[in-house]
């Protein structure tokens, strides 16, 4: 046995050693799937497989980076550098740029970020004379994205439209794609769809990929959609050396196009596939895993597996019912305070997980009122800041002057005399000609009806200036070129115009400095730096398929607040899984649209985030749509206990007239919260903490809730029982 294989357990070793033919590795939560993938790559190289013949794909830049680092630790950095390891989107960009002529796009095509996509959607609706109030742009974008992830074209959707609404969606889909084509741009979904189409229409190109990549590995296979699996099959079906690693029990992105059937039917699609089950969990205690196993076993369509703990039994899982959601939040704060007083813990050891983003509000209020530092994962991204989007649009214009979305963003930012009437006239002219606004300006550079002479002059000067700046921002001059662009466009005046107070302006200006720092970092690690490469790297960093795919909040001593979708792939010593009520988890709309299987998987993901301790709670009443309503404990609570819901229990969606008048019996072992547990107290260490409370502006303390004290525990609140007992023991000693 090699030195590599001796470090693996028997199941992991089998997954690593089975190198030929199709392999399905069912990696339960916390069973070491990344270890299997990285050791498998190292084992292949140890057997003499060239690094250039290995392709490993995953979903987030963070996961890809971790995979590269761990392989480099095993085989050395020089050898690992020859591997192709990255996200699906990054792989597709490289492949499409290499074969841009075959997809009738320039090699320097732009990649639309989410803001660009919404702008293109609005342009499509404007061309169709459809008001945004009747068809919300974000809803339309979600629908188009889902159709692309199902490999349904606009024409195919239109041919099968069942009503006027679907006809409208189909026409908007067509206009949206036409807008992107005019701007020489692709959205994130296009990157996948175009490569599938390239493989289908150009078999010779597909075969080149097959001949190069003789061993293909896919991480998080349960989250692949139809185009992603189409890409994998296009490359791997020639030699069948395909290893997919995933867990159908953690497939929680069906609403975004992921198809769990692809992992469920893998061994049928690939006859003779070896199936390896990783069931030894190195993360959580037996108590936690027993609860997770009990819940997920109620899903009929799944690969059978049972997680076993390598750690041991651990603490019992506490289930508590609270009077309402505010008392639930206060109880969590109270419990954290008590744990911090009795044990050597940090705030970063705790996480509060919930099904929907609005549930965070009461927890944020409770943490703020008690001066507990917290981080809300999923708050505003650095790339969502106005000044960053503006600067990125300027750089995109330098790279691709035909990019209409970026042009429309910067043309009058800061104001340069191009008013709304002139822009409307420009758009009207371009729409009638069936071309983009930049193409219209190229077609008629001197005058366009309805566009003032001053506006035309400003536009010509801006475009000429950006073209000159682009020439001076090549290779090692990239950062200086961006700095000169910021100065030439006088962007600082935009900050003065928008933000009245100096403190806010300074904070926004710091974001501009950070943008330059990003460019500097890109320059230092790139062998062939370019403006287009810099823009591409930023775009791909925004294409992570997971809400929690970044490093936000890591290294800060603060409690983490996050949705269950964002928590995928993370782990915490102490987890509070809150709001386990019918209608929330499982979510009423989700089970109405697709049944409760994915919601059950979401509950399973939440349970298995806990390493040492799991506390579960729900509220007996909750404010919904401006009224306080009685709730039903989640079906998953009963499944966790192996019980059938009692008489009177109603599933989510039951009409009000069929619901019982009084409370029903909670699951066995559920504890009703005591009055003291609904109030919190703050340890002095928390009150004096300088850790940022939220994911918002760095270095600023949020406004406190009315009446909150700045230092020390409020005198009119009880001392937590654990802290009171600790003080009593001290006095006794």
Candidates 113, 127, 190, 220; catalytic one? 220
Candidates 113, 116, 187, 219; catalytic one? 219
Candidates 250, 262, 439, 682; catalytic one? 250
At 141, which helix (H) or strand (E)? helix 137-149
CB 222 within 8 A of CB 248: yes
Q: At what angle do helices 61-75 and 33-46 cross, to 10 degrees?
A: 40
Query: Angle at the Cα of 541 (from 535 to 544), degrees rounded to 5?
Result: 140
Residue with tokens 């939220």: 694
Distance, in Å, from the CA atom of 25 to the CA atom of 46, rounded to the nearest integer, reads 21
Q: How many helices (H) and strands (E) does the chain have?
A: 32, 19
Candidates 175, 182, 305, 609; catalytic one? 609
Candidates 18, 19, 34, 670; catalytic one? 34
Phi, psi of 85 (to 5 degrees): -130, 125
What are 562's strand-pairing partners?
Answer: 353
SS3 244: strand
Candidates 11, 13, 31, 33; catalytic one? 33
CB 606 within 8 A of CB 627: no
Largest CA distance in the chain: 90
Q: Can you say whether residue 642 is alpha, beta or left, with left for phi > 0 and alpha for psi between -120 and 50 degrees? A: left
Cα R_g (the chain), whole angstroms? 28
DSSP state of 358: G
Burial class (CB in 10 A: 0-12, 13-18, 19+), 126: middle
> Is residue 609 among the annotated active site residues?
yes
CB 613 within 8 A of CB 654: no
CB 231 within 8 A of CB 88: yes
Distance, in Å, from the CA atom of 283 to the CA atom of 312, rounded to the nearest integer, reads 10
Q: At what angle do helices 188-201 and 88-98 cross, to 10 degrees?
A: 50
Phi, psi of 245 (to 5 degrees): -120, 130
Query: Angle at the Cα of 56 (from 55 to 58), degrees rounded to 5?
Result: 145
SS3 373: coil
Residue with tokens 């963003």: 409
> Is residue 33 among the annotated active site residues?
yes
> Is residue 220 among the annotated active site residues?
yes
DSSP state of 699: T
Q: Chain centroid to CA 615: how far? A: 25
Nearest CA to 46 out of 22, 19, 24, 65 is that of 19
> Is residue 34 among the annotated active site residues?
yes
Q: Chain centroid to CA 649: how far? A: 35
SS3 264: helix
Phi, psi of 542 (to 5 degrees): -90, -5
Q: Chain centroid to CA 625: how far? A: 28
Burial class (CB in 10 A: 0-12, 13-18, 19+), 215: buried
Any idea of the CA torsion for 182, 187, 192, 196, to the nearest 10 degrees? -20
Q: Chain centroid to CA 84: how far? A: 23
3-state helix, strand, coil in the chain (%, to 5): 50, 10, 35
Catalytic residues: 33-34, 219-220, 250, 609
């Amino acid at each position: 046995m090699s030195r590599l294989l001796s470090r693996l357990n028997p199941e992991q070793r089998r997954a690593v050693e089975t190198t030929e033919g199709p392999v399905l590795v069912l990696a339960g939560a916390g069973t070491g799937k990344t270890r299997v993938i990285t050791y498998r790559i190292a084992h292949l190289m140890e057997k003499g497989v060239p690094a250039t013949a290995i392709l490993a794909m995953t979903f987030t830049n963070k996961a890809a980076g971790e995979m590269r680092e761990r392989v480099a630790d095993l085989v050395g950095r020089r050898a690992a550098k020859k591997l192709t390891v990255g996200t699906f989107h990054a792989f597709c960009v490289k492949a499409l740029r290499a074969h841009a002529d075959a997809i009738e796009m320039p090699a320097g095509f732009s990649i639309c970020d989410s803001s660009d996509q919404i702008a293109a959607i609005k342009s499509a609706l404007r061309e169709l004379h459809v008001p945004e109030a009747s068809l919300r742009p974000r809803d339309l974008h979600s629908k188009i994205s889902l159709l692309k992830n199902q490999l349904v074209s606009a024409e195919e959707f239109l041919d099968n439209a069942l009503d006027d609404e679907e006809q409208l969606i189909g026409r908007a889909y067509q206009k949206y794609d036409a807008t992107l084509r005019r701007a020489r741009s692709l959205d994130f979904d296009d990157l996948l769809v175009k490569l599938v189409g390239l493989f289908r229409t150009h078999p010779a190109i597909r075969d080149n990929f097959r001949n190069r990549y003789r061993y293909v590995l896919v991480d998080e296979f349960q989250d692949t959609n139809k185009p992603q699996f189409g890409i994998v099959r296009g490359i791997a079906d020639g030699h069948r050396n395909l290893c997919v690693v995933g867990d159908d029990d953690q497939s929680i992105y069906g609403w975004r196009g992921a198809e769990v059937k692809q992992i469920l039917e893998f061994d049928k699609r690939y006859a003779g596939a070896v199936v390896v089950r990783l069931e030894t969990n190195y993360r959580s205690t037996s108590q936690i895993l027993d609860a997770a196993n009990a819940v997920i076993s109620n899903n009929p369509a799944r690969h059978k597996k049972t997680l076993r703990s390598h750690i041991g039994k651990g603490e019992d899982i506490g289930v508590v019912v609270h009077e309402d959601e505010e008392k639930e939040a206060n109880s969590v704060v109270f419990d954290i305070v008590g744990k911090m007083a009795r044990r050597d813990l940090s705030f970063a050891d705790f996480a509060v997980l919930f099904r929907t983003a609005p549930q965070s509000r009461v927890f944020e209020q409770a943490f703020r009122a008690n001066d507990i530092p917290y981080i809300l994962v999923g708050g505003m991204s650095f790339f969502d800041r106005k000044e960053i989007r503006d600067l990125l649009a300027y750089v995109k214009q330098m790279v691709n002057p035909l990019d209409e979305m970026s042009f429309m963003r910067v043309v009058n930012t800061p104001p340069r005399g191009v008013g709304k009437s002139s822009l409307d006239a420009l758009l009207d002219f371009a729409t009638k000609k069936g071309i983009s606004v930049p193409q219209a300006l190229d077609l008629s550079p001197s005058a366009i009806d309805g566009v003032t002479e001053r506006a035309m002059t400003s536009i010509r000067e801006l475009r000429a200036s950006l073209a000159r700046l682009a020439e001076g921002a090549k290779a090692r001059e990239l950062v200086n070129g961006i700095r000169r662009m910021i100065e030439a466009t006088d962007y600082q005046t935009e900050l003065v115009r928008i933000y009245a107070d100096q403190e806010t302006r300074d904070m926004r200006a710091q974001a501009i400095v950070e943008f330059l720092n990003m460019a500097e970092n890109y320059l230092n690690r790139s062998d062939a730096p370019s403006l287009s490469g810099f823009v591409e790297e930023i775009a791909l960093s925004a294409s992570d398929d997971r809400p929690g795919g970044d490093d936000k909040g890591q290294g800060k001593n603060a409690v983490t607040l996050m949705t269950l979708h964002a928590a995928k792939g993370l782990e915490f010593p102490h987890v509070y899984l809150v709001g386990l009520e019918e209608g929330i988890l499982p979510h009423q709309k989700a089970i109405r649209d697709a049944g409760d299987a994915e919601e059950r998987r979401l509950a399973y993901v939440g349970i298995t985030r806990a390493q040492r301790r799991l506390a579960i709670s729900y509220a007996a009443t909750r404010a919904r749509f401006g009224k306080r309503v009685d709730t039903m404990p989640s079906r998953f609570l009963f499944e966790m206990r192996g019980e059938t819901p009692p008489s009177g229990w109603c599933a989510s969606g039951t009409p009000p007239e069929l619901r019982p008048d009084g409370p029903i019996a909670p699951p066995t072992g559920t504890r009703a919260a005591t009055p003291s547990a609904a109030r919190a107290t703050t340890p002095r260490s928390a009150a004096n903490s300088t850790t940022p409370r939220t994911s918002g502006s760095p270095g600023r303390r949020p406004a406190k809730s009315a009446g909150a004290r700045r230092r020390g525990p409020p005198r009119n609140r009880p001392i937590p029982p654990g802290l009171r007992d600790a003080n009593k023991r001290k006095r006794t000693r």
